[in-house]
């Protein structure tokens, strides 16, 4: 028998603890601006929100192409320099307008390898006041891996970050970055190589051989970072007609990647752009990047390929985090922040979780964190029109910028919150996404949603002190014990929602009046 015995505050939320975004030292990380001057793109990202799981307050990219054609001349592309300078001037002015200057700015392969790189840096500082730090390949690999850890704390495997002029590898394990290494396998570097396609294939193989000597093969998982990899992942989604267009934590099998590489060969770039909305400059690099990806997978033989939207920019933010903040669960921190900002009664999510806890006493810890997230988010969409709250909840959750959440978990969380506001999902426009879950997972999400639907309206404050839920799974019996003071709260609507929860559980109900 599961009871609703009260736990201590610390135990109830372990291993999450007190929300650090309320701590001034954590909030000091709010509204942080970083600039990444890459071989292909120049980007400004301004982070804000929960310190451990920041949202993108502002995000702008210019495909400058600094490294285009650089192999022969050892000079930065002249048009690329002009476009990069224009972008950096704008970014610095934007930062001043947002009150976040000075920006933290780094440059990677193109600037560090170009003969005129130092002069370009000096010109940037003279004209914009922006100090540009040039990092080496190993530091680039480390920062990219840290970005993966920001959104994926349990990441174990090999992080592969492809830029325009280089490709970096880094090991991640137990929340730490291990060995790192760089290679000249960026698609801009591969353009116009000697020996045509055959020569390029041999060159890629030779570079991968050197990487494999350092890292070994038979990797369990490879995490892909970088715009070219994300473009290939979006094309994989198009080929599969995958219903959830969220790139972060998208998974591919080696077989699927092989099929997508062949699919890319069969379609023109214009056709693929029309299907996906990928920009012309990015799409132009996809064929070369796909050759590298296929060879990479053949060499390292991962069981799974995962896409990370977090990389060097997020790694720069992670660099500034104290260790106690790094150890936090990014999903829970983001949900806590959303509740504090948008819920009608901030803090009630934790109370609701405690009240409902007897229903999922046997749920594994990995799933309980999703239950906690659902309770924290159960009321953040209350401003939406009542007829559409269930849709707004599902849409916001499945497409939100949340780390530490797989695609299946996104949909599970979305279905639970949908049922927080509506009994049935029949006729839902989101039906294709439901297919990512098994029938049992859908039922479990529905039970959670209907439990929140009952608990959230039964008592507006401390329902666990006025009543107690008891769940007997073997007997299929759901019991509600009411204090005398709470009898009046169990009205018609509360009774209907309690019975709806019992129906989802396939259980009989019993309402008892507590003694005393």
For residue range 230-248, what is the model confidence (pLDDT) as tens digits? 999 999 999 999 999 999 9
Burial of 5 (0-12, 13-18, 19+ CB in 10 A): exposed
Tens-place pLDDT, residues 468-516: 999 999 999 999 999 888 888 889 999 999 999 999 999 999 999 876 5
Tokens of 233: 């992942």
Residue 101 reports pLDDT greater than 90: no
Compute the distance between CA of residue 384 and CA of residue 249 in angstroms, rounded to an integer: 28
Compute the distance between CA of residue 141 and CA of residue 270 in angstroms, rounded to an integer: 32
The predicted model gives 199-224 an average pLDDT of 94
Alpha-carbon distances of 97 from 40, 102, 120, 408, 427, rounded to whole Å: 26, 11, 25, 40, 46
Give pLDDT, residue 1. Answer: 34
> Which of the listed CATH numbers 1.10.40.50, 3.30.420.150, 3.30.70.1150, 3.90.1170.50 matches domain 138-314?
3.30.420.150
For the chain, give every domain's residue range: 9-16+329-513, 20-134, 138-314
Give pLDDT, residue 15. Answer: 34
Give pLDDT, residue 119. Answer: 96
Query: Greater confidence, 467 or 29?
Result: 467
Q: Which helix (H) or strand (E) holds 248?
A: none
Return the CATH fold of 20-134: Nucleotidyltransferase; domain 5 (3.30.420)
pLDDT confidence bin for 11, thresholds 50/70/90: very low
The CATH code that applies to domain 9-16+329-513 is: 1.10.3210.10
Compute the distance between CA of residue 132 and CA of residue 125 in angstroms, rounded to an integer: 7
Tell me the HSE value of 423 on the side-chain side, using a 13 A CA sphere: 11
* Sign for the pseudo-dihedral over CA of 424, 430, 434, 435: positive
Mean pLDDT estimate for the chain: 90
Tens-place pLDDT, residues 360-403: 988 888 899 999 999 999 999 999 999 999 999 999 999 988 88
The reply to whether 138-314 shares the fold of 9-16+329-513 is no
The predicted model gives 50-70 an average pLDDT of 88
Express as a percent the part of the chain with pLDDT over 90. 75
């Amino acid at each position: 028998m599961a009871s609703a015995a009260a736990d201590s505050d610390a135990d109830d939320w372990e291993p999450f603890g007190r929300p650090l975004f309320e701590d001034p030292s954590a909030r000091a990380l709010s509204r942080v601006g970083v600039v990444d001057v890459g071989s292909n793109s120049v980007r400004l990202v301004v982070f804000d929100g929960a310190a451990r799981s920041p949202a993108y307050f502002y995000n702008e990219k210019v495909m400058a192409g600094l490294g285009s054609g650089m192999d022969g001349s050892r000079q930065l592309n002249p048009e690329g320099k002009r476009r990069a300078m224009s972008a950096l001037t704008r970014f610095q002015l934007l930062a001043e307008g947002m009150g976040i200057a000075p920006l933290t700015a780094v440059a990677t392969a193109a600037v560090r390898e170009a003969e005129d790189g130092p002069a370009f840096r000096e010109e940037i500082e003279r004209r914009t006041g922006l100090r540009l730090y040039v990092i080496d390949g190993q530091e680039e690999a480390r920062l990219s891996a840290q970005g993966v850890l920001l959104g994926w704390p349990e990441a174990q495997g090999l992080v592969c970050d492809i830029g325009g002029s280089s490709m970096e590898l880094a090991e991640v394990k137990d929340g730490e970055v291990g060995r790192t290494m760089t290679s000249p396998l960026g698609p801009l570097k591969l353009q116009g190589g000697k020996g045509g396609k055959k020569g390029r294939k041999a060159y890629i193989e030779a570079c991968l051989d050197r990487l494999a000597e350092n890292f070994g093969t038979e990797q369990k998982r490879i995490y892909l970072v970088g715009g070219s990899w994300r473009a290939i992942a979006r094309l994989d989604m198009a080929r599969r007609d995958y219903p959830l267009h969220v790139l972060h934590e998208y998974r591919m099998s080696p077989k699927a990647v092989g099929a997508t590489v062949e699919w890319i060969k069969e379609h023109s770039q214009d056709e693929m752009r029309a299907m996906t909305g990928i920009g012309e400059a990015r799409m132009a690099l996809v064929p070369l990047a796909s050759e590298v990806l296929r060879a990479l997978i053949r060499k390292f033989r991962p069981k799974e390929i995962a896409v990370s939207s977090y990389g060097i920019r997020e790694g720069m933010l992670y660099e500034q985090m104290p260790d106690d903040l790094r150890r936090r669960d990014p999903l829970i921190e983001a949900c806590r922040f959303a509740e504090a900002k948008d819920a009608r009664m901030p803090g009630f999510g934790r109370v609701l979780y405690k009240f409902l806890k007897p229903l999922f006493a046997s749920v594994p810890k990995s799933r309980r964190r999703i239950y906690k997230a659902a309770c924290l988010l159960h009321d953040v969409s209350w401003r939406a029109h009542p007829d559409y709250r269930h849709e707004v909840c599902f849409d916001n959750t499945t497409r939100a910028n949340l780390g530490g959440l797989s695609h299946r978990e996104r949909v599970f969380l979305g279905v639970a919150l949908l049922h927080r506001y509506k009994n049935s999902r029949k006729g839902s426009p989101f039906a294709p996404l439901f297919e990512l879950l098994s029938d049992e997972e859908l039922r479990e999400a529905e039970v959670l949603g209907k439990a929140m639907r009952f608990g959230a309206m039964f008592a507006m404050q401390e329902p666990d002190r006025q009543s107690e839920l008891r769940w007997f799974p073997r007997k299929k019996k759901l019991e509600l014990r009411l204090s005398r003071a709470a009898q009046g709260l169990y009205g018609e609507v509360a009774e209907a929602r309690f019975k709806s929860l019992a129906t989802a559980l396939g259980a009989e109900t019993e309402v008892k009046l507590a003694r005393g």
